[in-house]
Chain A
Amino acid sequence: MFNLSWLLPLFAVGLIISCLAPLLTKKIGHHARFLVLVVPLAFTLFSGLGVASLGEGQEGILHIPWVSFLNLGLSFSFDGLSLLFCLLISSFGLLIIFYASEYLKGHPDLGKFYLYILIFMLSMIGLVLSDHLLLLFIFWELTTFSSFLLIGFEHDKEFSRASAWQAILITTLGGLAMMAGFLLLGSICGTFRISEIVQMGDFIRGSEYYLAILILILLGAFTKSAQFPFYFWLPGAMAAPTPVSAYLHSATMVKAGIYLLARLSPALAGTAAWTDIVSSVGAITMIVGAVLACKQDDLKLLLAYMTVMALGTLTLLLGLGSVEAIKAAVFFLLVHSFYKGAMFLVTGAIDHGAHTRKISELGGLLKVMPWTAAAAIISLISMGGLPPAIGFIGKEMIYKATLVRSDLFSLVVIVLSVLAMGISTALAAVFFFKVFLGERRQASMEAHENSWVLWAPPLLLGVCGFALGIFPSWMQSTLMTSAVSAIKGENVTTALFAGVKFDQALLLSVISTALGVVLYLFAERVRNTLTDLAPFFKTFSPENIYTQGMQGLLKLAGWQTHLLQRGYQMKYLNVVFLTIILATGASLLSSSDKLSRSFEMPVLDLYEWIVSGLIVVAALASLFSRTMISAVLLLGVVGYGVAILFVVYGAPDLALTQILIETLTIILIALIGIKFPFAFSDKELKRNLLGKGVVSIAFGALMTLILWNVMSHPFDPYLSEFFAENSYSIGHGRNIVNVILVDFRAFDTLGEITVLAIGSLGFYSLIKMARGSEESK
């Protein structure tokens, strides 16, 4: 019953609705959300059907070929891993967009918000369902882009813009590295299809390019999933509205890197390099995130750093690579999404109701916001890793995974995990006791409960999480086993969760919970110590390196601009011409091609001589003109003369275009001449005559040399013959030039007009900026 080919129509519908969203919101306001919500609903049903059909052993691959000899096409595949993510993305999308429709109610840009978030959702789903490496990359970049738009949603705030920039720069740099890794991987495997690449694991691991591929792809995954040292963009991204933080920066987008690691595990994992690098980075990220979370007063930042910690844990588990670890990773992925998404939504509700997110300003919200508190408590139990929430089971599985081997590295990992989980418990306790219980402080006095749209989604998430924890048999399901098998690269049939046993994992759980309680009791002391220690670490923190780096870059740009672009057009022209002359000239002279065509007097008709003579005379005369207008007109004569030559040699289209461009140029310059009428004075004409002469003559000589070089080579008429033959039969046109432009090479033309459009946009904004600054003077 489930058909992967429904995916494309769903994408199309989603795209159309998202483009309509801004318009709809303007027209019908609040009710537009119902149409918008159709998209995540449709995808949730789609994923649900997909999950249901997993057991039927259907191999799901959808491939729409495009350029077949490059093996380039739209390829999608589904298995447990992608469907798990798909289900997560679409169902969370449904809840969060619903929440956002209330949270951002009345916001003037709400329509745009729907557009951005739907685009994000579609891109993310495309990312996890993609079977082609390059297609995955395209969706990856689309998620980066939509995240940029969403982080910078409040674009009149400096902080939002700066955070959005930070996020996009870091993730894009990683993305570029990842692209390079993909290209390398694809070329050594001979295919870009992920389903085929994961079968070639041993070959890839043995290749000489393995390390390079690994590091490049890891860079992509680590930047996207906020691993150390790239983690700092994630707390900055909290500038986004809370629904965005809940959706992108905890449940879905940041997990894209984790997805990549998981998806490519069969191909890349299993070597010492993978285990060492990935686990270490994961472990470091985990502990850094946990420690930094302790000193936060702002609830959103606290949750952000805890997300960093969770991402580190996931990376660590994928790095360890054993079956236990992978089971733990898949499970914890779900666990974390549930409680973190819920807690972000709760924080948004608190912000909405109490107008602050600082722990120090809140307290005793339980009485004022009972429903929100209920939603929070359920998820906090999971966050704290207490039974019977799934958080507890997740913690158990993580410990089980770390206990698989017993070497020094594992010992360190165990200690760090216990510490991190303990901090997690402590912070959950802080959230609960300090925010919901305790004395009511200033902000809580004026706080009020929100509409059900703001507390129902987190409550639902929390209850689901709880239910899944009480009835864990779903973990044996086809979905989970398929996901784990996909990551491990071999079929895994052992039971995912064998029940709580009194073993070492449980002991570790008890220790970390106790640690959490202790940390909570000393919360103030811990916070103060960390705040005192902060300045020492600030100079070496990745964030500082980034900031200093950016400032240094800007300074370098300023210096270089000052050096090369003083505002004199003459200087710019000189730089351009000299570069062309030197670079092209050097390569021409150093090439081994000899100029084999000797110079012979051409045999021309009289009128050809006249026209050529006219061109030369006009060009020379323009040297002596005194006003800009006369110079331009004389050069116009040159242009028209060239057009006539085009006609003579049988190129009417070229001649037509040449004449038109020449006319327009003259009009343009005439316009400028009207505004700035100036004549060249004797002094200006004579200044630096030698220099100008040398550059001009050199440039002209270079052009002649190039043409001569071209004429020296035999002319291969293959293309001309092809076009001449096929222009009418395939292209339905007798004008070969035009048929080439709009049919055979239409793609190039499309690129050209796109460039024109972008140039025009740049021009337009420069003019607006200049006008704007003039008006404000």
Chain B
Amino acid sequence: MNSLILRATAKLLISLLLIFSIVLLLRGHDSPGGGFAGGLVATTAWALYSLAFGAGPTRRALRFEPQTLVGFGLLISLLSGIFPMLWGQPFLTGFWGGADLGKLGHLNLGTPLVFDVGVYLVILGVALNIILSIEEEE
């Protein structure tokens, strides 16, 4: 779409949206959000990019094929589940580790977060696959 206004505002909005999507991903465990929501917002960001600049530049900016993102996301989710098995726990047991950051509060990290990252990537990849393909349709 050839709109200068869209292109100018898109760049700003996209950065905001992408940061927001990561925030959603990370806060998911204690507040509304999570991998699905984060992935969808990221998709919206990239969809906006593709509307403003076209499908080709979007693919180049992404640097990975959407399908690669899907595969990678699945792999991460699987590995996060297999990781506990190396310690003799059943598949997909949640392993948690925390760190106290003093004034910033308590940081709680675990394998479900890694799983969520995988979900995020899969959603992003699948949706972008469809959106970009439709955009490239003649």
Contact = CB atoms under 8 A, between A and B. Distances in A.
A764 B49 CA distance: 21
B14 interface: no
A764 B92 contact: no
Contact of B29 (A660, A732, A754, A767): A732
A764 B113 CA distance: 28
Contact of B43 (A657, A664, A747, A749): A664
A763 B133 contact: yes
User: In this complex, which of B96, B108, B137 has the most chain A Cβ atoms within 10 angstroms of its Cβ?
Assistant: B137
B136 to A, nearest CB: 9
Given A753-B73, A757-B122, A764-B133, A663 B44 contact: yes
Given A660-B40, A663-B44, A664-B47, A746 B81 contact: yes
Contacts of A656: 32-33, 37
B52 interface: no
A428 B47 CA distance: 69
User: In this complex, which of A660, A664, A764 has the most chain B Cβ atoms within 10 angstroms of its Cβ?
Assistant: A660
Contact of A735 (B28, B51, B126): B28
Contacts of A757: 70-71, 73-74, 122, 125-126
Interface in B4-25: none
Nearest to B47: A667
A764 B129 contact: yes
Given A734-B30, A757-B70, A660 B125 contact: no
Contacts of A734: 29-31
A734 B33 CA distance: 12
A730 B66 CA distance: 35
Contacts of A489: none
B94 A731 contact: yes
A639 to B, nearest CB: 13
Contacts of A730: 94
A760 B112 contact: no
Nearest to B78: A750
B79 to A, nearest CB: 11
A751 to B, nearest CB: 11
B33 A763 contact: no
B47 A735 contact: no
A750 B77 contact: yes
B33 A753 contact: no
User: In this complex, which of B34, B73, B108, B131 has the most chain A Cβ atoms within 10 angstroms of its Cβ?
Assistant: B34
Contact of A652 (B32, B36, B130): B32
Given A661-B40, A732-B29, A767 B133 contact: yes
A29 B30 CA distance: 51
A66 interface: yes
B28 to A, nearest CB: 5
Interface string A376-412: 0000000000000000000000000000000000000
Given A735-B28, A753-B73, A760-B130, A660 B34 contact: no
Nearest to B116: A742
Interface string A652-670: 1100110011011001100
A363 B17 CA distance: 75
B37 A753 contact: no
Contacts of B43: 664
A476 B20 CA distance: 73
B58 interface: no
B34 A671 contact: no
A578 interface: no
B-side interface size class: 35 or more
User: In this complex, which of B33, B36, B81 has the most chain A Cβ atoms within 10 angstroms of its Cβ?
Assistant: B36
A734 B32 CA distance: 9
Contacts of B78: 750
Contacts of B94: 730-732, 743
Interface in A445-460: none
Contacts of A732: 29, 94, 96, 108, 110, 112
Given A750-B77, A763-B133, A764-B129, A733 B123 contact: no
Contact of A733 (B30, B127, B133): B30
Contacts of B41: 660
A741 B34 contact: yes
Contacts of B90: 66-67
A652 to B, nearest CB: 4
Interface in B92-134: 92, 94, 96, 108, 110, 112-113, 115-116, 118-119, 122-123, 125-127, 129-131, 133-134
A738 interface: yes
A761 interface: yes
A19 to B, nearest CB: 11
A742 B127 CA distance: 20
Contacts of B137: 675
A657 B131 contact: no
A62 B33 CA distance: 43
Given A664-B40, A732-B94, A732-B110, A653 B126 contact: no
A653 B135 contact: no
B122 to A, nearest CB: 4
A523 to B, nearest CB: 55
Nearest to B24: A656
A756 interface: yes
Contacts of B96: 732
Given A746-B81, A764-B67, A735 B130 contact: no
Contacts of A653: 32-34, 37
B33 A738 contact: yes
Interface in A646-702: 652-653, 656-657, 660-661, 663-664, 667-668, 671-672, 675
A759 interface: yes
A756 B32 contact: no
A746 B126 contact: no
Contacts of B130: 668, 760, 763
A742 B33 CA distance: 12
Contact of A753 (B51, B118, B131): B118
B131 A742 contact: no
B134 A668 contact: yes
A762 to B, nearest CB: 11
A507 B126 CA distance: 71
B21 to A, nearest CB: 10
B29 A760 contact: no
Given A656-B32, A664-B40, A763-B129, A753 B122 contact: yes
Interface in B27-76: 28-37, 40-41, 43-44, 47, 51, 66-67, 70-71, 73-74
Nearest to A774: B138
Given A663-B44, A672-B134, A750-B81, A743 B112 contact: yes
Given A664-B47, A750-B78, A671 B131 contact: yes
Contacts of B47: 664, 667
A667 B92 contact: no
20 contacts: A652-B32, A653-B33, A656-B37, A663-B44, A664-B44, A675-B137, A731-B29, A732-B108, A735-B32, A738-B116, A742-B35, A750-B92, A753-B122, A757-B70, A757-B122, A757-B125, A760-B67, A761-B67, A761-B70, A763-B130
Given A738-B29, A750-B78, A760-B130, 10 more contacts: A661-B40, A668-B131, A671-B134, A732-B94, A742-B34, A746-B112, A750-B115, A753-B73, A753-B74, A760-B67
Interface of A: 66-67, 652-653, 656-657, 660-661, 663-664, 667-668, 671-672, 675, 730-735, 737-739, 741-743, 746-747, 749-750, 753-754, 756-757, 759-761, 763-764, 767
Of all A-B residue pairs in the complex, the 10 with the closest CB atoms, nearest first, are: A733-B29, A660-B40, A652-B32, A738-B34, A760-B126, A742-B112, A753-B122, A734-B30, A738-B28, A743-B112
